[in-house]
Structure 1
Amino acid sequence: MSGDVVVLGTGMHPWGKQGRPFLEYGLAAARAALQDAGLTWPDVQYLVGADTIRNGYPGFVAGASYARALGWTGARIASCYAACASGAQAVDLARTRILAGLCDVALVVGADSAPKGFFKPVGGERPDDPDWLRFRLLGATNPAYFGLYARRRMALHGSTPYDFAAVKVKNARAGALNPMARYRGAVTTEEVLASPVVADPLRLMDICATSDGGAAVVLASRSYARRHAPAGDLVRLAAVSTVTPTFPGTLLELPDFATDSCAAVPPPERPFRAAVAHAAYEEAGLGPAELSLAEVYDLSTAMELDWVEDIGLCPPGEAGKLLRDGVTALGGRVPVNPSGGLASFGEAIPAQAIAQLCELADQLRGRAGPRQVPGAKAGLAANQGLFGHGSAIVVTR
C-alpha cells in the first residue's frame, strides 16, 4: 500500500548560521520543493510543519505558521514535534493522509534557527522533567551523552579515536560536494585528532554543530504524480517507521545492560535502534543487502558506526572495518551519509529527517551531481529523537 505515495519534489535552504527567522528557511525550502514538483502553493491540499521549540509560538505551530506565510488558501494543516525525529513523523502524517484517500498532494516542511553553542533545555526550570534534570543534576549535556556512547563502543568493540576521526574525514569529503552543506572543506585525520577535546574521547570535530537550515518535500499519490511528472522520475516512499522501545529493553541503545526486568520478561528480539530500521525494512519488503545508500544519524562520529551496524549493514563491531575498506564511502558498495551527514550540516532539528529524505530522493532521481551513487535503487534514512522517538524512512525506484 505504501507504494501509492511518491516523492514529487524536494527543496532545501543552505544550512549554516545566518541568524535569520526559521520561517525564512522553511519558506525557501517549501518554494523550492513546489517548483521541483511543478506545482504552486494553491495546489497543496495538506501541509505538515515539523515544529521547532526554540523559536517562540510560531515554532510550536509550524504548520499554521508556514500556511500563513505562504498565503491562506484553506489547506488543511498539522504540526508535530518529536525532537530529532520530528521531520520523519511529519512525513508519516502526510503519507498517512494520502494513503487514507483524504488528499492527493501534501507539503512537508521543517526549519530551525538554532542558538549558538550546544543545545540546552528550554522553558525555564522544570524539576519534574527528566530532560531538564539530566542537564542540571548530572551535567549530561548532549556531547557528554555522545561521549558515553563512544566509550561504550571502545569497550565493547575496540574502536579507537582513529576510527572516529575516519568517519569525519569520510563525511567531510562528501559534504565538500554538497552546495547545501554548512561545512564544505575536506579535513584530515590529524586535524580531527588535534581539535579540542569536548567529551572524552570525542573532540570538537567528532561532534556535529547546531545549525540554521530548512528542508521540504512534496508527497503525492501515484495517480496524481503520474499526471505531473515523468513516470521514470518518481521515487516511491516505501516505508516510514516511527517506533518506540519494547519493554524491558527500554534503555534505548544499551541492549547489553541487564536489568531485573529481564529476569521476568524476555528481552526484545532486537535492540531499539535496530528495531527502528527493521520495521521499515519489513514494511518496504526489502533488506539491508538491497540498499544502495543510507543516511544515518551522525550526532557524533562514533554514533555513525553504531548506526551502520543497527541498520544491518554489518554485524556488531564490524562497522570500522567497512569504513576502512571504503564500503561506506562515496564510490563504495553502500555509501553512508553521501550528503555529508550532520558532520557537514549540523543539527537543524525539525529539518533533519526531511533533509535525509531529500538526499535519498535526489540520489534515486540521479540528481546528486558529484555525490551521485551510480544506479541508486533503494535508500534508507534513520534517526532518533530523545525519549524513544525512533524513525526510519525507505525509498525505492
Structure 2
Amino acid sequence: MSGDVAVLGVGMHPWGKWGRGFATYGRIAARAALEDAGVGWEEISSVVGAQTVRGGYPGYVAGATFARALGWQGARVASVYAACASGAQAVDTARAQILAGLADVVLVVGADAAPKGFFAPAGGERPDDPDWLRFRVLGATNPAYFGLYARRRMALYGDTPEDFALVKVKNAAAGALNEFARYRTPVTAEEVAASAMVADPLRLLDICATSDGAAALVLCGMEYARRRGVRDPVRIRAVSTVTPTFPRTVLDLPDIGTDSAVAVEPAPEGFRASIARAAYEEAGVGPEDVSLAEVYDLSTALELEWYEDIGLCGPGEGARLLRSGATGPGGRVPVNASGGLASFGEAVPAQAIAQVCEVTRQLRGRAGRRQVPGARVGITANRGLFGHGSAVVAVR
C-alpha cells in the first residue's frame, strides 16, 4: 500500500527507577534503534519526540531535546503531546512527514522519568484539566478510576477479582522473559489476592506502577528501505488517532464547556472500540487477521475491556476469552506478549512506542522465548486523556 512506512530499527532503555533524566534514557533508546536500523545519526532527516510534561521545559520540546542529546546535525524536529497516546501520535507525525516527502528517514523517541506514586498534573492548579479536577475535586486518582471500571465489569458481566488476577499472572509470566521489563518475576493468583487493596476491587498487583523508561523507532519510506537492501521490512499500515463521538461512553468528567455540543449522531460503540475500528479500516484488516496485540493494561480489568474493544470477542466476553487461553502464550491471539504495563510500569510518552517495538520484534521473528509463531499482523492500542485515541497496525 502507498500509505505504508517501514520500521528499520527499534530500541529501548530498560524500564525501572534509575534516577536519571528522561533525555538520557531517550538518547540510549535512540542509539539502540539507530544501531538496529544500520543507520547513522547523521542520516536522520527528522526527529519526532513524544513529550513528557513532567520533564520541565526540555520535556515540552522533546524533539529538540533528543536531537541535542544526540548531537546537533540539522535535522527537522517536532514535539508531540497526547498524554498516554503521545507515542502513537509521534509515530503518526513521522509517518506523515515520510509520506509527504518531507523526510526520508525519521527517528521517533519517547522517554520519561516518572515520579514515585500517583501521577500529579503538571503546572500547578489547573481547573480546566480533567486530571486536576478528578484528583482535587473528587479525590479520584487513577487507581480509583480503574476501580470504577472494574466494578462496572463486575456489575454488567459478572467478572470476578479472580478473573482480573489471571491477567496479572499471564502478563507477569511474559514479562519474566523480557529483558527490558521492570518486573521479571512470575506471579501467582494467590499472590495477587494477598497484595494490598488499593481501589476496591483492585489490589496492588492489579495496577501498573509508574516507571522510568524509553523507546525509539527508525521509520522510513518503502523506497528508502529498498535502497538500503531491506526487502521485507515490518510495515506500519495504519495509525488511528481518533477522538470520541457523542455521547461519550467512558467514565470521565466533562471537558468544561465542550460536552454539550452534539456534532454527530450517537455512536454505536464506545470510544476505545472506535479507536481500533479506525485502525482496522485504514489497514484493510480485521480482528480475525490479528496475530498478536499490545494493549494498555493500566489495570488488569482494563485489559479485559481491550479484548472486547479491539474485536477479539464480544462485549462481556473478555474474561471467558482469557480463561480459554486464547490471549496467552500459544493462544489464538496473544495479548501483551511483552508483559504489558503489568511488567513495565507506565512511562507515559514512551509506552505506545514500546508497544510498536514489541510488535516489530514479533513480526520479525526475533522475540526469543516470547515469540508468537507465524506472526504476520499486530495491533497496538491505548488512549490518552482529553480524547486522544491511539492504535497502530503493523504487518509483515
TM range (shorter): over 0.9
What's the offset of the Cα at 1:127? 3.0
* Distance (whole Å) between structure 1 residues aligned to residue 265 and residue 118 of structure 2: 38
Equivalent runs, 1:252-291 vs 2, <5 Å: 266-291=265-290
Give 1:10's aligned amino acid: V
What secondary structure sits across from 1:90 in the alignment?
A: helix
C-alpha RMSD of matched pairs (Å): 1.8
Give 2:11's aligned amino acid: G
Unaligned runs of 5+ in 2: 254-258
What's the offset of the Cα at 1:68? 0.8
* Distance (whole Å) between structure 1 residues aligned to residue 202 and residue 283 of structure 2: 36
Give 1:227's aligned amino acid: R
What's the offset of the Cα at 1:236? 0.9
* Distance (whole Å) between structure 2 residues aligned to residue 38 and residue 249 of structure 1: 45
Counterpart for residue 64 of structure 2: 64
* Distance (whole Å) between structure 2 residues aligned to residue 276 and residue 151 of structure 1: 23
Cα gap change, 1:46 to 1:252, in 2 (>3 Å): farther
* Distance (whole Å) between structure 2 residues aligned to residue 391 and residue 185 of structure 1: 29
Matched, 1:327 2:296: no
Q: Deviations over 1:81-127 (max 9, x none)?
A: 00000000000000001011111110000000000112112211223
What's the offset of the Cα at 1:197? 0.4
Counterpart for residue 22 of structure 1: 22
Equivalent runs, 1:40-55 vs 2, <5 Å: 40-55=40-55
What's the offset of the Cα at 1:130? 3.1
What secondary structure sits across from 2:180 in the alignment?
A: coil
* Distance (whole Å) between structure 2 residues aligned to residue 304 and residue 236 of structure 1: 25
What secondary structure sits across from 2:53 in the alignment?
A: coil
Counterpart for residue 104 of structure 1: 104
Identity of aligned residues (%): 73
Q: Deviations over 1:46-94 (max 9, x none)?
A: 1100000111111110000011111111100000100000000000000
Cα gap change, 1:2 to 1:384, in 2 (>3 Å): farther
- Provide TM-score, normalisation by structure 2: 0.96
* Distance (whole Å) between structure 1 residues aligned to residue 235 and residue 77 of structure 2: 23
* Distance (whole Å) between structure 1 residues aligned to residue 23 and residue 300 of structure 2: 30
Q: Is the 8 A contact 2:246 2:262 kept in 1?
A: no
- Provide TM-score, normalisation by structure 1: 0.96
Q: Is the 8 A contact 1:11 1:215 kept in 2?
A: yes
Q: Is the 8 A contact 1:252 1:273 kept in 2?
A: no
* Distance (whole Å) between structure 2 residues aligned to residue 332 and residue 264 of structure 1: 41
Cα gap change, 1:117 to 1:2, in 2 (>3 Å): farther
Counterpart for residue 379 of structure 1: 378
Q: Is the 8 A contact 2:245 2:264 kept in 1?
A: no
* Distance (whole Å) between structure 2 residues aligned to residue 229 and residue 175 of structure 1: 33
Cα gap change, 1:98 to 1:152, in 2 (>3 Å): same
* Distance (whole Å) between structure 1 residues aligned to residue 229 and residue 318 of structure 2: 39
- Pairs aligned (count): 391
Give 2:344's aligned amino acid: F
What secondary structure sits across from 1:12 in the alignment?
A: strand
What's the offset of the Cα at 1:2? 5.1
What secondary structure sits across from 1:85 in the alignment?
A: helix
Counterpart for residue 156 of structure 2: 156
Cα gap change, 1:132 to 1:261, in 2 (>3 Å): closer
Q: Is the 8 A contact 1:277 1:311 kept in 2?
A: yes
Cα gap change, 1:12 to 1:264, in 2 (>3 Å): closer
Counterpart for residue 171 of structure 1: 171
Counterpart for residue 194 of structure 1: 194
Q: Deviations over 1:268-287 (max 9, x none)?
A: 13211000000000000000
Q: Is the 8 A contact 1:253 1:273 kept in 2?
A: no
* Distance (whole Å) between structure 2 residues aligned to residue 134 and residue 169 of structure 1: 30
